[in-house]
Structure 1
Amino acid sequence: MKLIKAFFRLVRWPNLVFIALTQVLFAYCIYDKIYAGSEAHLLSAVHFIYLVLASVFIAAAGYIINDYFDLNIDQVNKPDKVVVNAIISRRWVIFWHMFLSLTGMCFTMAALPLRGYWHLILGNLASILLLWFYSTTLKKKLLIGNVLISLLTAWVILILFLAQHPLHFSSLLKVDQHEIRFFRFTILYAAFAFVISLVREVVKDMEDLEGDRKYGCRTMPIVWGVQASKLFAAVWLAVLITALSILQFYILPFGWWPSAVYCLLLVILPLIWILVKLGKATSPADFHRLSTVIKLVMLTGILSMVFFRYYL
């Protein structure tokens, strides 16, 4: 039982549930409503499940390899949560990384036919490789690793949009109102995922400052300092708060009051709280608390898709 619990902690199972939930809600609440009555189909139910499983397995493999290469740093930053070598041997960790990566690619190819969708298969393959290089090198570099993880977070949504568009020139000429609306919602949620993930990555770097510094990382708090890192995160938080506030004024004329109230109470106000607390944060515990709240806001933001099941 201890081994099973350690494995689920290693793959960050709550994050995997979050990824699956994001894709299911996006397909069910937005895509299905936009294309209701249309002959277009995102994927069959079986193939959609395969694509979700592919995302989950690839992400799990990424978390595993990250912990594998972060062993020394984690022994400083969070010694009580270390799984690699403490509970699961390094050899088995590598095995599970390779197994889950391969399984993720198998599900990708089962979900998407090679003809017309080879770019998405390559996209998921690139995700596996980039997660490896992130864990070995890029996460120790200034900003590059943060941006990469944020892009891969947005990819969870973008791949669903791209799965509706085979890579044929003729398909690019068939743009209708459904396509435009679907594209807008894709950009909206992908941009939200990117920005809030970028903020969380910077906050996590501030939390892990001591361990990262000890092992020669060049993260933003180490290179620029904590205050400059706070300012960087604060600017992106302000951008996100402003954009979401403007969006609420845009949807109010449509009578979407429940959605606007939800966004205000469970997304915008918590983001303002994070912005205020960020300026006062000093200890790893403070930054850990902020990281946790940001993760909750990511969840409430994604859950807002439910409203579009009724409004669209």
Structure 2
Amino acid sequence: MLDFIRLTRPLNLLIMAATMLLMRYGLLEGQLERGLHELLQEPGIDVSRADLILDPRFGPQLSLPLFVLLVLSTVLIAAGGNIINDYFDTRIDRINKPEEVIVGRTVKRRVAMMGHLLFSGLGFLLGAVVAWRTGLWHLIVIPAFAVMALWMYSMSLKRQLITGNGTVAMLTALVPLIVGLYEIPLMQRALMDAPLTVTVPGEFEEVTYSMSLPYTEIWWWVLGFSAFAFMASLVRELQKDMADVKGDEALGCRTIPIAWGMKSARVLTLVYIGALVIALLALRLLVLHDTLSFWYIGVGIIGPLLLSAGFTYNAVERAEHLRAGNLMKVAMVMGVTFAALIRYLP
């Protein structure tokens, strides 16, 4: 049973669920709280946040049960994808990491296949329920695409040049993006007939203010987190390809380290990391000017990125490439966790 759970990569699933929670309660609610903070700074308003009387529509518009279903859908589809990936990777894993092979040893192949079908099917159905209940039917293509992409990736795409890494990076970017794709249209729909209002109690009477939501700014934040996830995932996939080059080459795979050579793969990885660092520095210099962002981005995100780059540059053995990949995962987690700080930005 424990080995079957290991097939799903529970830590990665936990990170995915946490990412979606951070997008909803960190980014979306954080942006709303920043709007309230600006309102409280206006002349003549001398009350605390706790005294405000908020519009019932204040906050995320996807109901909590549907949001839970959306998270479960995403996690189940990812779990099914992880299982089928190990199912098709057994021969490669026997070369790269023979002591870690599970499918065909402690977990029967038919059990792994049934697990994949069950998780993927249930994940798709839950995603369809969320699309139906919200009236955003077009978003049903996301779980459908994810299930098909993970199957194709495991069967063939991961063994081909570029397409495998691009598929994983795209699916990783969808995790934060899907929250925005649901929440923002629902917020716009809820406020279509009347603007969001905030009532400020006064000594003699209450004063009600209309509050506009910065949809464009919210979208830019969501897209920023998705772009970060995409680029960071590309780096992680390249680092894993360099770690697994022995088994991949034996089975005729056409990954970047095999097709272009380890030196080119290493240079490309460093270029990707450099692009991430430059983008983060630009964000810090052009958008975020507070001390908290300075230290968090510099130490919490760029720090692990540079360490990962250093390990990638010097890596020779498989374990060293994996260590570089683990540092990249730390940078990814720290990057997504920045969403929790948005409400505190000036």
**Is the shorter-chain TM-score for this pair beyond 0.5, marking a shared fold?**
yes
- Indicate yes or no: 2:252 matched with 1:216: yes
Runs (5+) with no aligned partner, structure 2:
34-53, 194-211
Partner of residue 50, structure 1: 69
- CA gap of 1:109–1:35, structure 2 versus 1, over 3 A, is farther
CA distance in 1, matches of 2:28, 2:213: 13
CA distance in 1, matches of 2:247, 2:286: 45
Alignment coverage as a number of residue pairs: 304
Task: Using the TM superposition, name which of 70-79 and 34-43 deviates more.
Answer: 34-43
Partner of residue 14, structure 1: 11
CA distance in 1, matches of 2:340, 2:91: 42
Partner of residue 84, structure 1: 103
- Indicate yes or no: 2:230 matched with 1:188: no
Letter in 1 for 2:12: N
Structure 1 residue 252, shift from structure 2 partner: 4.6
Is contact 1:207–1:284 with CA below 8 Å preserved after alignment?
yes
Partner of residue 333, structure 2: 299
Mark the structure with the bigger radius of gyration: 2
Task: Using the TM superposition, name which of 38-47 and 266-275 deviates more.
Answer: 38-47
CA distance in 1, matches of 2:29, 2:134: 24
CA distance in 2, matches of 1:311, 1:271: 23
Is contact 1:209–1:222 with CA below 8 Å preserved after alignment?
yes
Task: Using the TM superposition, name which of 39-48 and 188-197 deviates more.
Answer: 39-48
Is contact 1:28–1:309 with CA below 8 Å preserved after alignment?
no
Partner of residue 117, structure 1: 136
Runs of 4+ displaced beyond 6 Å: none
Q: Map 1:13-162 onto structure 2 (within 5 A).
A: 13-35=10-32, 39=57, 41-113=60-132, 116-162=135-181
Partner of residue 301, structure 2: 267
TM-score, structure 1 normalization: 0.92
Task: Using the TM superposition, name which of 283-292 and 267-276 deviates more.
Answer: 267-276
Partner of residue 286, structure 2: 250
Is contact 1:278–1:290 with CA below 8 Å preserved after alignment?
yes
- Indicate yes or no: 2:323 matched with 1:289: yes
SS in 2 for 1:266: helix
Runs (5+) with no aligned partner, structure 1:
none
Instruction: Flag the structure with higher helix content.
Output: 1
Letter in 2 for 1:80: E
Letter in 2 for 1:186: V
SS in 1 for 2:62: coil
SS in 2 for 1:73: helix
Structure 1 residue 115, shift from structure 2 partner: 7.1
Task: Using the TM superposition, name which of 207-216 and 271-280 deviates more.
Answer: 271-280
Q: Percent identity?
A: 35
Output the aligned Cα RMSD. 2.1
Is contact 2:87–2:109 with CA below 8 Å preserved after alignment?
yes
CA distance in 1, matches of 2:311, 2:81: 30
Structure 1 residue 166, shift from structure 2 partner: 5.3
- Indicate yes or no: 2:262 matched with 1:226: yes
Q: Map 1:192-203 onto structure 2 (within 5 A).
A: 192-203=228-239
CA distance in 1, matches of 2:185, 2:127: 15
CA distance in 2, matches of 1:179, 1:158: 14
Letter in 1 for 2:22: L
Letter in 2 for 1:18: I
CA distance in 2, matches of 1:272, 1:146: 21
TM-score, structure 2 normalization: 0.83
**What does the per-residue CA deviation read over 1:11-52, in whole Å, with 9 as the maximum and x for residues that have no partner?**
000000000000001100111232455737440011001000
